[in-house]
């Protein structure tokens, strides 16, 4: 099928390459000229495992091209809208300007029978509004809402083999025709037996924010338990293992530590609260405010422990920060807890040296005031304190004995609870986790 993908960020670029991989002919469209030039040359504008090879394969198949011109969407039967919906400055609500611009750009290029597929995470009610716009410019075209659940770091696998597919369809024959088109687009994952949920627009929109709210709640729940463990002398990791054995609870997303960040969870729960307020249902989501608060309190806690272990003063102390990305296997620093903690320590007068395997360039754009170094060795040289803030494999695998020789003081805060406390203590370190004795 001929497919266009509007918006070539983490979601759209991967989606475009994956659609090519499963046999479609794809054009990826974005207004960012530098991004389009890079993607066209087979260069990945962001770090995402497996994406480089996939992009190369897709480009050399001759079935994938990139363009800055929305007119190049003409001729495609399916148009995916994959643009971002960031948090509005100074507000909880989502900024819809990129979604609206994408629909404006597509308007002149739709033909009868085309299917427009919204994948962006949007406030519930958006699809109904946009369907009316599509009907106005091209009555023969149909809008489908098809949320995306990919995780950064696993984007390629999650796109090729999603754990479920959701279609939000309009009622009537147009919806059924659009469904048949999407079934063809997703023939490969559907043939693998992927669960398919077919529903209406509002449910499809809500599925996405409900899923992210649940995940955020799970993380804040275990972080609240970490706070309890700290005052009661318990161990939150053992607690998570024990409750996680209950299938109804499950162990995944119960890792206590510095909390969640990134381009989705934080802004999605805030936008969901804002939308609930507009719909007069703010009470239903009041708990998400608490989820957000617990999450942000993790950052305060790490700064507080740093101050404690440095005998009450951060000013002038040398602190090695391992990790800037919001999570490992990503170079994304949007709402990164790690980078936020580094910036706060710097604000308190500490000499902070930040390292990360892939996120330094992005981090430097947001926080040019911080000092960045290429590797762990440079970060920890003569450090008074080491902070592990993003659990990259290479940090989890650090040898405590080897590292002990390089620092000034053998004190580490493991803000992701990923190190073996006993092994580090045996090597002479003062080890502090979060919610661990």
Binding-site ranges for ligand UDX (CB under 6 A): 148-152, 212, 215, 219, 253-255, 257, 259-262, 264-265, 326-327
Handedness of CA 315, 316, 322, 324 (dihedral sign): positive
Name the residue nearer to ligand UDX (CB basis): 103 or 221. Answer: 221
Query: 138 and 147 in contact (C-beta within 8 Å)?
Result: no
Helix, strand, coil: what percent of the chain each, to 5? 45, 15, 40
Q: Which residues contact 436 (CB under 8 A, 6 or more apart)?
A: 229, 235, 236, 237, 417, 421
Work out how close the CB of 254 gets to ligand UDX at its nearest, in angstroms, rounded to a whole number. 6
Tokens 């320590």 -> residue: 345
Q: Annotated catalytic, 18?
A: no
Name the residue nearer to ligand UDX (CB basis): 70 or 220. Answer: 220
In 3-state terms, what secondary structure has residue 97? helix
Query: Comparing C-alpha atoms, which of 142, 194, 149 is closest to residue 168?
Result: 142
Work out how close the CB of 9 gets to ligand UDX at its nearest, in angstroms, rounded to a whole number. 12
Work out how close the CB of 211 gets to ligand UDX at its nearest, in angstroms, rounded to a whole number. 6
Query: 81 and 116 in contact (C-beta within 8 Å)?
Result: yes
Long-range contacts from 294-297, C-beta under 8 angstroms, 24+ separation: 294/220, 294/223, 294/224, 294/227, 294/259, 295/216, 295/219, 295/220, 295/223, 295/259, 295/260, 295/266, 296/259, 297/223, 297/227
Long-range contacts from 289-294, C-beta under 8 angstroms, 24+ separation: 290/220, 291/213, 291/216, 291/217, 291/220, 292/216, 292/220, 292/266, 294/220, 294/223, 294/224, 294/227, 294/259
Work out how close the CB of 147 gets to ligand UDX at its nearest, in angstroms, rounded to a whole number. 8
Work out how close the CB of 397 gets to ligand UDX at its nearest, in angstroms, rounded to a whole number. 18
Given 18, 82, 229, 264, the catalytic residue: 264
Handedness of CA 160, 166, 168, 174 (dihedral sign): positive
Work out how close the CB of 274 gets to ligand UDX at its nearest, in angstroms, rounded to a whole number. 18
**CA end-to-end distance (rounded Å), the chain:** 57
Query: Comparing C-alpha atoms, which of 38, 11, 10, 40 is closest to residue 27?
Result: 40
Which DSSP symbol is given to 23? T
Buried residues in 6-28 as b, exposed as e (16+ CB within 10 A): bbbbbbbbbbbbbbbbeebbbbb
Name the residue nearer to ligand UDX (CB basis): 211 or 309. Answer: 211
- Cα dihedral 254→122→196→15 (10° resolution): -90
Name the residue nearer to ligand UDX (CB basis): 159 or 410. Answer: 159
Name the residue nearer to ligand UDX (CB basis): 170 or 259. Answer: 259
Name the residue nearer to ligand UDX (CB basis): 264 or 302. Answer: 264
Work out how close the CB of 13 gets to ligand UDX at its nearest, in angstroms, rounded to a whole number. 15
Name the residue nearer to ligand UDX (CB basis): 5 or 27. Answer: 5
- What's phi and psi for 199, nearest 5 deg? -150, -165
Work out how close the CB of 196 gets to ligand UDX at its nearest, in angstroms, rounded to a whole number. 17
Name the residue nearer to ligand UDX (CB basis): 28 or 262. Answer: 262
The set of catalytic residues is 264
């Amino acid at each position: 099928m001929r497919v266009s993908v509007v918006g070539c960020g983490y979601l759209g670029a991967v989606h475009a390459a994956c659609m090519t991989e499963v046999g479609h002919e794809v054009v990826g469209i974005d207004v960012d000229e530098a991004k389009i030039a890079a993607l066209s040359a087979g260069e990945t504008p962001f770090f995402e495992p497996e994406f480089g090879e996939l992009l190369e394969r897709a480009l050399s198949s001759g079935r994938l091209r990139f363009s800055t011109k929305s007119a190049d969407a003409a001729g495609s039967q399916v148009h995916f809208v994959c643009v971002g919906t960031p948090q509005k400055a100074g507000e909880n609500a989502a900024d819809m300007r990129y979604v609206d611009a994408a629909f404006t750009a597509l308007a002149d290029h739709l033909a009868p029978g085309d299917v427009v597929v919204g994948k962006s995470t949007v406030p519930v009610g958006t699809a109904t509004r946009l369907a009316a716009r599509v009907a106005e410019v091209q009555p023969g075209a149909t809008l489908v809402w098809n949320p995306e659940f990919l995780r950064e770091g696993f984007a390629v696998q999650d796109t090729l083999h999603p754990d479920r597919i959701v279609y939000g369809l309009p009622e009537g024959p147009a919806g059924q025709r659009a469904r048949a088109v999407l079934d063809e687009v997703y023939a490969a994952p559907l043939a693998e037996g992927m669960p398919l949920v077919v529903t209406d627009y509002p449910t499809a929109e809500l599925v996405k924010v409900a899923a992210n709210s649940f995940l955020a709640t799970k993380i804040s729940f275990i972080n609240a338990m970490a706070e309890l463990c700290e005052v009661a002398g318990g161990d939150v990791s053992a607690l998570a293992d024990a409750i996680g054995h209950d299938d109804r609870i499950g162990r995944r997303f119960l890792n206590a530590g510095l909390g969640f960040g990134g381009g989705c969870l934080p802004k999605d729960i805030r936008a969901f609260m804002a939308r609930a307020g507009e719909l007069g249902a703010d009470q239903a989501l009041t708990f998400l405010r608490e989820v957000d608060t617990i999450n942000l309190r993790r950052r305060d806690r790490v700064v507080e422990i740093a101050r404690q272990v440095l005998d009450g003063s951060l000013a002038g102390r040398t602190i090695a920060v391992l990790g800037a990305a919001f999570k490992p296997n990503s170079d994304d620093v949007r709402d990164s807890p790690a980078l936020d903690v580094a910036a706060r320590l710097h604000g308190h007068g500490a000499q902070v040296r930040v390292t990360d395997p892939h996120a330094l360039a992005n981090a430097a754009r947001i926080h040019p005031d911080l000092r960045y170094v290429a590797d762990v060795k440079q970060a920890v040289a003569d450090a008074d304190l080491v902070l592990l803030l993003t659990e990259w494999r290479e940090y989890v695998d650090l040898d405590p004995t080897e590292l002990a020789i390089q620092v000034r003081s053998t004190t580490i805060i493991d803000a992701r609870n990923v190190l073996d406390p006993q092994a580090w203590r045996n090597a002479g370190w003062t080890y502090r986790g979060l919610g661990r004795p």
